[in-house]
Chain A
Amino acid sequence: EAGVAQSPRYKIIEKRQSVAFWCNPISGHATLYWYQQILGQGPKLLIQFQNNGVVDDSQLPKDRFSAERLKGVDSTLKIQPAKLEDSAVYLCASSPMTGRGYTFGSGTRLTVV
């Protein structure tokens, strides 16, 4: 079974620039999550989709972050404009409706300079 695919693996941008991350979940997984993991901390949920609808975006900084999951499969997370404190690993995860089989992607390490 293919895993959760994310790209790019690494990204370095200057503050105030824009960046986008892409996630392709495991086939058939209805739920998709985006997490921000700052060095030394646990993953913090940014947004959760079920199919193509948003379930929870309460911790998404909506003034600069946006995400979409068109057609209920792939998802993109965008930051515009980036700040220094956005430097982190952005993890995508997916799971079936049952919640078991929750799988993380390899993440995108973002460095904002």
Chain B
Amino acid sequence: GENVEQHPSTLSVQEGDSAVIKCTYSDSASNYFPWYKQELGKRPQLIIDIRSNVGEKKDQRIAVTLNKTAKHFSLHITETQPEDSAVYFCAAAYSSGTYKYIFGTGTRLKVLA
């Protein structure tokens, strides 16, 4: 069945360093790839997304890259700050009349001050 693998499950970085989280999807019909940040006890919030006709998208300190051939997409956070500490989820979505989302298992990012 469809699934999204996400690595690593936990990631600790020093403040100011970069963090990279990688996802691999199985369904070649997927054409929309959002990333969510979930702080403790709060709802997942969309932080960046990319469509399949784009290879890279950047928004200030965060960027997402997509390799459709390899079915990989990655989240890059530069100049990490303590407030970046959270759980990050990737998702792969496709439309079959309505959008269906498959979520990754999450990465717990800890930024050490």
Contacts and interface: CB of A to CB of B under 8 A. Distances in A.
A104 B99 CA distance: 15
B106 A48 contact: no
Contacts of A61: none
Contacts of A106: 42-43
Interface residues of B: mostly helix, strand, loop or mixed?
A: strand
Nearest to B89: A42
Interface of A: 30-31, 33, 35, 40-45, 48, 50, 55-56, 91, 95, 97-100, 102-107
27 contacts: A33-B101, A40-B106, A41-B105, A41-B106, A42-B104, A42-B106, A43-B89, A44-B103, A45-B100, A48-B100, A50-B97, A55-B100, A91-B44, A95-B99, A97-B98, A98-B99, A99-B32, A99-B98, A99-B99, A100-B49, A102-B46, A102-B99, A103-B46, A104-B43, A104-B44, A106-B43, A107-B43
